[in-house]
Chains A and B, each alone.
Chain A
Amino acid sequence: MIIVENLHKTFPTTDNHVLRGISCHITAGEKIVVVGPSGSGKSTFLRCLNLLEQPSEGKIWFDGTEITDPQTDVNHVRTRMGMVFQQFNLFNNLTVIANIMLAPVKLKIMSKSEAEANAMKLLERVDLLDKRDSYPSQLSGGQKQRIAIVRTLAMNPQVILFDEPTSSLDPEMVGEVLEVMKDLAESGMTMVVVTHEMGFAREVGTRIMFMDEGKIVEENPPSSFFGNPESVRLQEFLSKVL
């Protein structure tokens, strides 16, 4: 579903070479978990996948389309590729239901009534139906992130990218968000998750990538990733985080 070929990213202002040749192949239904020390390029890699960051070099295909081709309609690609952010990024000026309905309605994917019905169904799924008319400022971090996931789901994406979705949550709220993500994984959604939650990686991931210094150092299913790490750097990393 997603093919990445020799991806490089250098930030021109700082001349920081963050990604140094990433290649990978993600097939439908996979749950990829990307782990690694901070500064290893995990988030940049994820943000390149939906072109929130423009790759400096390399190619990305999504569903047979080369999205790094300047001719590709990026907005259209993004409608099928959801993203959940560390800082939730709910639209502060809109109520919960308006947050969820905005993109499907404005992009003419659904009529207003369809979008509303769909939003209600999704809100029920994450048990937040009573928050439909609340503003983001009235929600807890965990609630915000669950709404953010729902907002992404409202577009019926083929894949969802999660950029450290639990990193800015209070510890007692991490569980409720991971629960929604597990649910989503079980429903067959293709997911790429950057996270520090090793328990989630082990339980939900079908393949785990370890990134360090802008490269994928090692990638394996969880059993061998955690049980039998090959590279020294991964062994060191795991000894620190587990």
Chain B
Amino acid sequence: MQEWFESVAASFERAFITGDRWKIYLAGLGITVEVSFFAAILGLLIGTLLAFMKMSVGKDGRRTPWSIIANIYIDIIRGTPVVLQLLIMYFIVFTFSRNAVMIAIITFGINSGAYVAEIVRAGVLAVDKGQTEAGRSLGLSQAQTMLYIVIPQAVKNILPPMGNEFIILLKETAIVGYVGLTDLTRAANQVSSRTYEPFMPLIGAAIIYFSMIKVLTILLGKLERKLRASDNR
């Protein structure tokens, strides 16, 4: 028993302590968080814009050019693997820049935007049409009705799937190793190829991802409950 315990401790030491290896994970974690965080913000901006573009209706009730553009964007992004999008961005589009972090943020932002667009659109459409009609019938403009009445109610519908999207995004950034970035996943992989002991680094990284997402889930759950409170006060 003691022998087993000692060997686990030794293997833990090799995976995390020896040669200050914990710094590799920490730096990797930094990249993971940086890319995810800024990509999430970019995705939120792009997605919201796309959602309203897609929902725009012309005076004659037809789809606007904006709506068609948004549709094409969403189609293309959802129809191709994000790894491929990252490679295309790094090796074809941004050949003039080797700032891989920035390219990763842009790629994941653009990718996430397509999914966020559908989330926002569904959330806005789920608000009863009568709410808009009541706003318009009082003389409020389309924009005012959106801003004061529809969007505050849509946020409640949007929050749960949006949380889901952020969680997916955080995990998906594990592919940035393809363009030479050392994120948490790659850091773990590097250590295991140095120690020839994959168990500790890989399980360790998994635990770190899991913990981050658990915390995120708890925070989102709290926010959601707070917003729902107005439903049955």
Binding site for B on A (CB under 8 A): 12, 50, 52, 75-79, 81-83, 85, 87, 89-94, 102-103, 106-107, 134-135, 137-138, 148, 151-152, 155
Contacts of A90 in B (CB 8 A): 134
Is the interface on chain B under 10, 10 to 19, 20 to 34, or 35 or more residues? 20 to 34
Q: Is the CB of B137 within 8 A of A137?
A: no
- Known pairs A12-B61, A75-B141, A102-B148; A89 contacts B133 (CB<8 A): yes
Is B79 in contact with chain A by the CB < 8 A criterion? no
Q: Is the CB of B149 within 8 A of A93?
A: yes
Question: In chain A, what residue has the closest Cβ to B232?
Answer: A137
Q: Which of A50, A94, A106 contacts B137 (CB 8 A)?
A: A50
Bound together, the chains give a CA A137 to CA B131 distance in angstroms of: 14
Q: Is the CB of B138 within 8 A of A155?
A: yes
Bound together, the chains give a CA A77 to CA B233 distance in angstroms of: 35
Is B21 in contact with chain A by the CB < 8 A criterion? no
Is B135 in contact with chain A by the CB < 8 A criterion? yes
Contact residues of B: prevailing secondary structure: helix
**CB of B39, distance to nearest CB on chain A (Å):** 30
**CB of B149, distance to nearest CB on chain A (Å):** 5
Q: Write the B111-136 contact mask toward A (1 if CB under 8 angstroms, else 0).
A: 00000000000000000101101111
Q: Is the CB of A93 within 8 A of B230?
A: yes
Is B140 in contact with chain A by the CB < 8 A criterion? yes
Is B193 in contact with chain A by the CB < 8 A criterion? no
**CB of A118, distance to nearest CB on chain B (Å):** 14
Q: Is the CB of B139 within 8 A of A85?
A: no
Q: Write the B61-82 contact mask toward A (1 if CB under 8 angstroms, else 0).
A: 1000000000000000000000
Q: Is the CB of A78 within 8 A of B131?
A: no
Question: In chain B, what residue has the closest Cβ to A103?
Answer: B138
Q: Is the CB of B148 within 8 A of A106?
A: yes
Q: Is the CB of B130 within 8 A of A85?
A: yes
Question: In chain A, what residue has the closest Cβ to B139?
Answer: A79
